[in-house]
Amino acid sequence: MRHRTRTLHHIERQQPRRSRRIRHPHHRLRTQLRRHRHLDTVTDLHQHTHILHIRAAPGDPRNQPAHRAGTTNPTSLSTTAPTPTCALRLPFTPPPEPTRGAAVTLPVPPAPRTRHPLRTALTTWGALIALLWAVLITDLFLPAHLTAHGITPRTLDGLLPGILAAPFLHADPAHLAANTVPLAVMGVIAALRDRPGMWTALAVALVVSGLGVWLISPPNTVTVGASGVVFGLFGYLLARGLFMRRLGDFLIALLVFLVYGSLIWGVLPTSPFVSWQAHLFGFAGGILAAIAVARARRARAQP
C-alpha cells in the first residue's frame, strides 16, 4: 500500500512536468529563426526581416488553448488562448558577393553572326560591277557626256578628277564587257585571299596607272576604262605568289597566269586606240601593292 502510494505520489509529481513541456506556439519559429540567422536573441531580427502574417490552419495546435499546469483533465481549459494568427519574420538574405579566387559563372553573349567570305566577295564585286554598268547606261541614254571627264594628259582637269573618274567610265558596252569578266574573277580571288590586300592593290593600281597615263600619254587624248585596275589585280596576284612565300598564293598565281597570261601582251603599244600606258603602270602598281602587303605581313609576324 505504501509502495502504491509512493507510486501515485510520483505520478502526481511528474504530472506538472508534463504540462510544462507544452511549449509556446511560437517556440519552433523562434528556434528556426535563430538557427537560420545565428542570432542570440529574437529581437535582432528586427534589423533584417520582413513581417508576413500567416493564419494558422483550423486543425493547427496553435488554435487550441493550452492546458493548465498540474491538471490532467483535457476538458479543463485555460481561459487564455493564443491568437489564431502569428507574425512570421522572414530573413532578408542579400545575394552573395564574389570573393577573390572564387569561380563566377557569367552569361556568355551570343557570338556575332559573320558572313561567309565568298558571299562577301561576291557581294562586293557584284556591287562594283553594277555601279560600272549603271554609269555606262547613264552616259548612253542621257546627254551627260561623262567620258569627257577621263584622264587628259598633262592638264589640271585631267589629273583630278580624271585619275579617280577614269576607271568608272567606258566608251561603249563592248569596252566594259571586256573588262567585266577578268575584273570580277580576279577581284573575287583577291578578296578571298586577303580582302585588305585587295583594297590596297586597287588603290595603288588606280593611282599609279592614272599617273602614268597622265604623264606619258599623247596630248589631246582622253583615256577611260578600268583596264588599268584589271592589270593591277593581275600583277598583284602574280607577285603574291613570289613574295608571300606560301603554297596557296603560289598555286593561285600559277592558275591566274595560265588563264589570263595573254594579258601580258597588253603592256606593249600594239594599237593606237589601246592605252598600253594604263596597262603597264597598272601592272606595276599591282606588283608594288603585293610587295607592300608582304612586308606588312612579315612585320606583323615578327615579335
Question: Could you tell me the residue ranges of all domains in the chain?
Answer: 2-65, 117-301
- Given pLDDT bands bounded at 50, 70 and 90, which one contains residue 160? confident
227 has a pLDDT exceeding 70: yes
When mean pLDDT is compared across 93-107, 151-165, 203-217, the lowest value belongs to 93-107
Which has more confidence, 25 or 122? 122
pLDDT category of residue 302 using cuts at 50, 70 and 90: confident
Residue with cell 593611282: 207
- The CATH architecture annotation of domain 117-301 reads Up-down Bundle (1.20)
pLDDT per residue over 262-300, tens digit each?
999 989 888 888 999 999 999 999 999 999 999 999 888
Lowest average pLDDT, out of 92-96, 180-184, 226-230, 251-255, goes to 92-96
| Torsion sign (Cα): 67, 69, 71, 77 | negative
Q: pLDDT tens for residues 16-65?
A: 554 455 555 556 666 665 665 544 444 444 444 444 444 445 555 555 55
pTM of the model: 0.62
